[in-house]
Chains A and B, each alone.
Chain A
Amino acid sequence: MVKQRVIAVIVVKNSLAVQSIGFKRYLPIGRAEIAAEFLNEWGVDEIVLVDIDAMREKRLIDLDLVQKVAQKIFTPLCVGGGIRTKEDIKKVLEAGADKVAVNQMLFDRDFLQEATHYFGKQCIVASVDITKKEGEYRIYDYLSRSATHDPFTFIDTLDVGEILVNVVEKDGMKSGYEIPLYQALTKRTNIPVIALGGAKNPYDMQALLDSVPNISAVAAANFFHYFEHSVAITKAILKKEKNRPVRHDGLLRYDDFDFDEDGRLVKKADEELEKMLFEYHEKEVI
């Protein structure tokens, strides 16, 4: 069966990859293309690259950056940031993206129809930000800072390849995913839904996958930049005890390691480490 994807989101602000907290505070991480290179090495299933200033500054995401990122990875790449026209989509795809994430333009249904028709539905990902207002979920428009639309009726008429759902209150909060929202969304639509926002450690992702079996992918932005080999360790934890439908191959594996309750590596016994001192691993040449 098709596996649930583990997706890393790289948020770019002022040409730098950043951590995002509450859609308000941003802490620098480094160069996006370097982050992408490592994430690819660590076995990520897909990378989403978004420039969060582009639309506000009325420009498209830097195509040079898209090219630099695409060159480093043999993994699907979704790119968003300032997409307003078909030309924009074409340029981004030619720079190396496989799909584009559309946020502001989701309110223009004619544009969406044209885009899905011209490029194919699988190229268009709806990037939806959701906020909780007085106990109700609402679509959040980050440019006008308003929250009026009901997300469920909104997606009823949405005809795109996939929907990436980011929850504002969960952004950088390390409080776990907004599971009830994703349960409701996956019941409401057949379009693949990607969950984003709230990951503190891989156990949050376990909880999401177990509580929302129809979720197409689990995504995180800040989380995968917290520590080395993050994706590989995450996948090892996701496959531990329960054989969850996640792809787990690749040379970097943590199959026979133990983890603590925070998802951190537990040091192996000294005798085991002694044995590993002089193990020969032949480099794989394809």
Chain B
Amino acid sequence: MSGKRIVIVDYEMGNKRSIINALAYLGYRATVSKDAQTIQNADALILPGVGAFKDAMENIRRLLLQAPLEDAVLKKKTPLFGICLGMQILAQEGFEGGKTKGLGFINATVEPLGSLHVGFNAIEILQKEPLYTTIEEDTHFYFDHSYHMVAPIENISARTLYHDKLVCASIQKENIFATQFHPEKSQRAGLKLLRNFLNYMENYNG
């Protein structure tokens, strides 16, 4: 097992067990924590999440996680991987449950899709490095969301087509990576993508 400290940020939302299982399969032991010190000392951070934007941000504020996250991600430039709601809260603001301020790490907003996008969908890769190097065009990942991130094109690493809308599937900005889909629920393709993030973390020199 690698000695790197991967911390799954616990803001009391989301299924952490599946992520732990996926990381364990790939040879990594992750800790689940809401402790500021642990977050700041991590070699990589994972932001899970299922539920509503408003509740997520309320929890983050209540648990005083915003400051240690900003410290680690924006100042220390620790690699970050957000999943589903964990990607959405990186935005400036979201509209689920009323207009709420997000973490603001990405200059984006989170808006309603109009229906539930559930199932496997194919992605169009816009930026191959580093997450999609071993992944072919049109690979399917598992989506389950009814809100989507509207982000600047230079931050979008992959898109997917839902009805006639091109929806953001994943974003990246320096050390920040996030997917709208669930890599821990996307069988081999998801494991390959997580492997690419872990390799990025291993080779990362801050």
Which residues of A line the B interface, CB within 8 A? Answer: 1-5, 40, 43, 45, 67, 70-71, 74-76, 93-98, 117-123, 161-162, 190-192, 216-217, 247, 249-251, 284, 286
Cβ contacts under 8 Å, B118 to chain A: 2, 122, 161-162, 192, 216
Which B11-59 residues sit within 8 Å CB-CB of chain A? 15, 17-18, 21-22, 25-26, 50-52, 55
Tell whether B195 is near chain A: CB-to-CB under 8 Å. yes
| Chain B 161-188 interface 0/1 with A at a Cβ cutoff of 8 Å (1 = within) | 1110000000000000000001011111
Task: Classify the secondary structure of B's interface with A.
Answer: mixed
The reply to whether A98 and B185 contact each other, CB–CB distance below 8 Å, is yes
Q: Is B185 within 8 A of A76, CB to CB? A: yes
Given contacts A45-B120, A120-B50, contact A98 B18 (CB under 8 A): yes
For A121, list chain B residues within 8 Å (CB).
116, 146
| Contact, CB under 8 Å: B50 / A191 | no
| Dominant secondary structure at the A interface | loop
| Residues of B that sit less than 8 Å from A by CB | 15, 17-18, 21-22, 25-26, 50-52, 55, 85, 115-122, 139-140, 142-146, 161-163, 182, 184-192, 195
CB contacts (< 8 Å) of B195 on chain A: these are 286
Given contacts A74-B25, A191-B116, A247-B140, 18 further A-B contacts (CB under 8 A): A1-B121, A1-B162, A45-B142, A74-B18, A74-B22, A74-B185, A74-B191, A76-B144, A76-B185, A98-B18, A98-B144, A118-B51, A120-B51, A121-B146, A122-B145, A123-B50, A161-B144, A190-B115
| A-B CB contact pairs (8 Å), 27 listed | A2-B121, A3-B119, A3-B140, A4-B119, A45-B119, A45-B142, A70-B18, A74-B25, A75-B142, A76-B185, A93-B15, A94-B15, A98-B18, A98-B144, A98-B185, A119-B51, A120-B85, A122-B50, A122-B116, A122-B145, A122-B146, A161-B116, A161-B118, A162-B118, A249-B139, A284-B188, A286-B188
How far, in Å, is A6 (CB) from chain B's closest CB? 10
Provided the pairs A96-B15, A98-B50, A123-B50 are in contact, do residues A2 and B143 lie with their beta carbons within 8 angstroms?
yes
